[in-house]
Amino acid sequence: MISAFQMARRRLSNGLLFTFLASAALAVPAVPALAGQSDRSLVLGMAIEPIGLDPTIAAPVAIGQVTWQNVFEGLVTVDRDGNIKPQLAKSWTISSDGLTYTFRLQRNVTFHDGETFDSAVAKASLERARGADSVNPQKRFFSSIATIETPDAETLVLKLREPAGSLLYWLAWPSSVIVGTKTAESDRTTPVGTGPFRFVRWAKGDKVELAANTDYWNKDVSIGLDKVTFRFISDPQAQAAALRSGDVDAFPEFGAPELVGSFENDPNLTTVIGDTELKVVAGMNNARKPFNDKRVRQALMMALDRKTLVDGAWSGFGTPIGSHYTPNDPGFIDLTGIYPYDPEKARALLAEAGYPDGFSFVMRAPQMSYATRSAEIMQAMLAEIGVTMTIEPTEFPAKWVQEVFKNADYDMTIVAHAEPMDVDIYGRDSYYFNYRNPVLNGLIAKAEQTTDPVARDAIYGDVQTVLAEDVPALYLFVMPKLGIWNKGIEGLWRNEPIPSNVLTDVHWKE
């Protein structure tokens, strides 16, 4: 029989021991980082492990973040500022009607297994991506192509059905990379490309190892690393520990904004904040009452103080947006001022739409921290205008993709849209927003028929304005790129115009 006094004493001693242990662990002075790391190898951390290593057959961005530009290359590529650059195609001409693209290809390019790259290989790769049984996640990119011709080994001609202004840009994507004819089927586990790094090993659940490709075709590039290891660490605390202990040299997309400040005093690490392409958007079911009323959607937008939301949900990192477009994208305009935070006006507009006492709805929030936190803050802000949000956690990806994305069985949800330049989703017939707007569809079609960049930017400006005014979804913020890496590393990208970890220019300082 233990007396209450003994119980209390035991609890107290446990508590004291807890505190003592924790403070003892923290009181130990930190050992300085090991100087003289191998200057030709790099360990790079990622939160999510890719499900395969072939970006042409599955969508998760983690696949391209390991392989794009490192193992695989495309006809064209995108540089760190988002500009389209030649790659396996050294130049191209576009006919004045926009229907014929003629690419001059690089010579002396070989795949890691020795296969020679030529127009036949390029054609086979594109045919595989656009064929009837293709499972390419961006198959629609190739739908405008009627035929592919190979007049000679160095020339590739794409004949289009209709003009496709975004085609060049799409050809730069991870899902458009050129794969070898002999190795296409095994790329998902042992990727073989033409890039500056060869695949070495994938220890599933732990890491992917790459090694410099000594036969790399592009002599303008000096590869600064011999060995690269991608390590997959999902828990943010474990990510922080791996960085501090020097087990990981760089985390280009660190997972927890609330821990970023804790690296400030670390003498070995630097913090580089940039923009990703991830647009955090609260999608609404535009086919369901009351979201089918534009005034209701506008009122909800005005009820949200985006700045405060970013502060609360993501520790102040991230850029508020007014439409489905990021500062990285060509022709970006800041439209957060169209429906700025104004709860008074929001309430008036709701009353005008026939909801003087507000209404109730269900928010289906995926379990990612950005989504749950944003939902909780929105819940409080919407309560201010009399709107009641019930949050229903929805497991992502499996359940969310099935019920929200595929079946559109929801009122509102929150998810980060990762694909760059994807405003066309608002014009698709069966997309989970259930949004129909002929004006917008006209603008998107017009942009596709235009190849002149200046004219295209102007059209995309109109697209952004339509979205900002019509509010088919609530536009919240662009996910920041929280880069934390060793001060000795140079060449990693600050921004991500395409989700990636390009290692071509990465090296340790002398």
For residue 38 the two structure tokens come to 């191998």
Residue 339 CB, nearest distance to other proteins (Å)? 25
For residue 386 the two structure tokens come to 């009399």
Which residues form the interface with other proteins (CB under 8 A)?
A: 10, 13-14, 17-18, 21-22, 24-26, 28-31, 33-34, 49, 51-52, 57-60, 132-140, 188-189, 203-207, 231-235, 237-238, 241-242, 244-247, 395, 397-403, 405-406, 415, 417-419, 422, 430
Residue 62 CB, nearest distance to other proteins (Å)? 11
Helix axes 438-448, 453-470, angle to 10 degrees: 160
Nearer to other proteins, 51 or 120 (CB): 51
What is the distance of C-alpha 503 from the center of its chain? 17
One-letter identity of residue 260: V
For residue 381 the two structure tokens come to 């802000």
Nearer to other proteins, 33 or 353 (CB): 33
Nearer to other proteins, 280 or 302 (CB): 280
Residue 177 CB, nearest distance to other proteins (Å)? 16
Q: Of 84, 100, 95, give the one whose Cα is nearest residue 148.
A: 100
Residue 64 CB, nearest distance to other proteins (Å)? 12
Contact 475, 305 (CB under 8 A): no
Nearer to other proteins, 40 or 244 (CB): 244
Residue 208 CB, nearest distance to other proteins (Å)? 12
Round to the nearest angstrom and report the end-to-end CA distance of the chain. Answer: 69
Residue 269 CB, nearest distance to other proteins (Å)? 12
Nearer to other proteins, 214 or 430 (CB): 430
What is the distance of C-alpha 476 from the center of its chain? 16
Nearer to other proteins, 104 or 244 (CB): 244
C-alpha to C-alpha distance for 271 and 481, rounded to whole angstroms: 10
SS3 477: strand
Residue 429 CB, nearest distance to other proteins (Å)? 10
C-alpha to C-alpha distance for 74 and 85, rounded to whole angstroms: 10
For residue 19 the two structure tokens come to 């505190």
User: Helix %, strand %, coil % for the chain, to 5?
Assistant: 30, 25, 45
Nearer to other proteins, 198 or 207 (CB): 207
Residue 364 CB, nearest distance to other proteins (Å)? 12
For residue 320, how many other CB atoms are within 10 A of its CB? 19
Nearer to other proteins, 260 or 381 (CB): 260
Q: Of 372, 463, 353, give the one whose Cα is nearest residue 415.
A: 372
